[in-house]
Amino acid sequence: MRNQAADSLEGLARALEWVVEGADQGIQGGLMAESDKVFAGSIPKFYDTLMVPLIFEANAADMAELVAASSPGSVLETAAGSGVVTRALAPKLSAHARYVVTDLNQPMLDYAATRQGSDSRIEWRQADALDLPFEDASFDVVCCQFGAMFFPNRVAGYAEARRVLRPGGRYFFSVWDRIEENAFADDVTNAVAAVFPHDPPRFLARTPHGYHDVALIRKELSRAGFADIEIETREEVSRAPSARDAATAYCQGTPLRNEIEARDASLLQLATDRATQAIASRHGEGPVVGKIQAHVIVASG
Ligand SMILES: C[S@@+](CC[C@H](N)C(=O)[O-])C[C@H]1O[C@@H](n2cnc3c(N)ncnc32)[C@H](O)[C@@H]1O
């Protein structure tokens, strides 16, 4: 009885810590808008055809290598989006591996499934990374590429990943570094801000590039119970056939589109044109190349 009461008190204390932590995150990053997590409508297609080749593919190849190196028998992917990691990782897993691929937004998973060849090892499932519909200790690996920034409470999201990991299992995930280290995202944010000077859309700075403090990431993983944490900062390059391709990707293939349309849908094209001019003026008229930088994290224990 006494143990049960102690467990309940510990659970209550942890829940309270998460509430406080969630409030801290809101204050530090600027509160995430509801529209920031909506990847639906025309976003999945634009995201996959324009954003993925621009900034996600190179990182996905690295993530797949990293995960596959531990030869996991079971993998849970959270915030899988349009499946760029899934496509890179599935061929590297053993013939008997179990691979459960999840995302909050069903339209992203639907799109991912259409791009994946038939593979009986893969199970597609809509799931919130903060409330996973899986038993404790059911996976060798949890992986999540560029999803944690969207979690309304990261400590709760990390604790949930840890809960479903088997003892000795590992959590692999990545987040973008600050926006100033990511050239096109910075150019687009500044250009679109000039179109709406009184209420600049800040999605890119606030959410994808709003969670880059390595000390905070360590602290939140520790609070979620992880004991061993490795973080590596990696620089890559982002390439697009033209400034317009890069600008269209950011303005129309991410929830930045939701923010622009909420202000004035008729200005989506003008905002994209201004972003195109900004990228072209800094990176040239032909094919463009810009720096991207991310943190890659492995947590266990
Ligand atoms: C930037 S995309 C990354 C997608 C994919 N991992 C990739 O690398 O292309 C972020 C994804 O997080 C998903 N997402 C947002 N909030 C989530 C949550 N609470 N749980 C699970 N997925 C979430 C979105 O639907 C979106 O697909």
Residue nearest to atom 22 of ligand 1 (CA): 79
Q: How confident is the model at residue 31 (pLDDT cuts 50, 70, 90)?
A: low
- The span from the CA of 200 to the CA of 191, in Å, is 10
Return the H-helix or E-strand segment holding 293.
Answer: strand 288-300
Ligand 1 centroid distance, CA of 39 (Å): 8
Does residue 229 register a pLDDT over 60? yes
User: What is the Cα–Cα distance from 259 to 206, expressed in whole angstroms?
Assistant: 12
Token digits of residue 53: 């080749």
Give residue 46's pLDDT: 83
pLDDT at 34 over 70: yes
Residue ranges lining ligand 1, Cβ < 6 Å = 37, 39, 52, 56, 78-81, 84-85, 103-105, 108, 128-130, 145-147, 150-151
Report pLDDT digits (tens) over 241-283: 999 999 999 999 899 999 999 999 999 999 999 999 999 999 9
Q: What is the pTM of this model?
A: 0.88
φ, ψ dihedrals at 98, nearest 5°? -105, 130
